[in-house]
A and B are shown apart, each in its own frame.
Chain A
Amino acid sequence: EDKVVQSPLSLVVHEGDTVTLNCSYEVTNFRSLLWYKQEKKAPTFLFMLTSSGIEKKSGRLSSILDKKELFSILNITATQTGDSAIYLCAVGFNTDKLIFGTGTRLQVFP
C-alpha cells in the first residue's frame, strides 16, 4: 500500500531555533515529492523535488530528497513566529495523484 509518513507529528520551538521535519514514503513508480505549508486556509506550495541529492532552497527554508532511502527533510533555520503552521509532505507517483502525509504541526514561540 502506498503511504507517506511524517515525523514528528508536532514540534514546539523558540524563535531562532533550527528545525528539521522528516518525510518517508513507500510508493510505486515515484515521480516527485512536494512540501506544502498550511496555515489557516489553503496549503501553499513550497518545494517540489524529483532528483536525489539536489537541495532546493528558498530563504530560510531548504529541502533535500534521498530516493535510495525514500525520504526527504525540510529544514527551517532561524525560525520565526510566522513559520508556525502545519507542514505537509506529498508524494506523486505514476498516476496524476498525490498522497499526503498527516503533517507536522510546528509552533514557534517568541
Chain B
Amino acid sequence: DAGVIQSPRHEVTEMGQEVTLRCKPISGHDYLFWYRQTMMRGLELLIYFNNNVPIDDSGMPEDRFSAKMPNASFSTLKIQPSEPRDSAVYFCASRPGGNQPQHFGDGTRLSIL
C-alpha cells in the first residue's frame, strides 16, 4: 500500500507569495492531520479532518493559514500571504477510525525568503 503522499517535497518562495501544500492520505483512512515542525516548537498540530470535515483548527496560527479537504483522497494547506516565520517542515498524517496510530508523509520543507 502507498503511504501518505505529500507534494511538493521542497518549496522556496518569497515573502508575500501564496503557498499551497498538498496531501493524499492512505486509502481508507478517515482522519487527516496537518502538522508543522520547527526546531523551537517541535511537532505542532495545525488542523485535523474526520471524513473530510474539519474538526479542530485551533492550532492554525492565524488567518493567513487555511486548509481544505474536498474529498477523501486529497487535502491542501494554504498560506497567503507567506512570511519568513512560516518556514518549517509541514507534515500530513492519516489514520483509520478507532484508537489507531497516525502514519506520516515525508513532509514538505518550506522556506520563505
Residues in chain A within 8 A of chain B (CB atoms): 31-32, 34, 36, 41-45, 48, 50, 88, 92, 95-98, 100-103
Contact = CB atoms under 8 A, between A and B. Distances in A.
Between B4, B50, B104, the greatest number of chain A beta carbons within 10 A of the residue's beta carbon is seen for B104
B83 interface: no
A45 B103 CA distance: 7
A101 B37 CA distance: 12
Contacts, number: 44
A6 B31 CA distance: 26
28 contacts: A31-B99, A32-B99, A34-B101, A36-B104, A41-B106, A42-B4, A42-B91, A42-B107, A43-B43, A45-B101, A48-B99, A48-B100, A48-B101, A50-B99, A88-B43, A92-B99, A95-B56, A96-B31, A96-B50, A96-B56, A97-B45, A97-B48, A97-B56, A100-B43, A100-B44, A101-B42, A102-B42, A103-B42
Nearest to B45: A97
Interface string B91-113: 10000000111111111000000
B53 to A, nearest CB: 12
Interface of B: 3-4, 31, 42-45, 48, 50, 55-56, 91, 99-107
B32 to A, nearest CB: 11
Closest 6 pairs (CB-CB, A-B): A42-B104, A100-B43, A41-B106, A102-B42, A45-B101, A42-B106
Contacts of A36: 104
B45 to A, nearest CB: 6
Contacts of B48: 96-97
B101 A41 contact: no
A92 B45 CA distance: 12
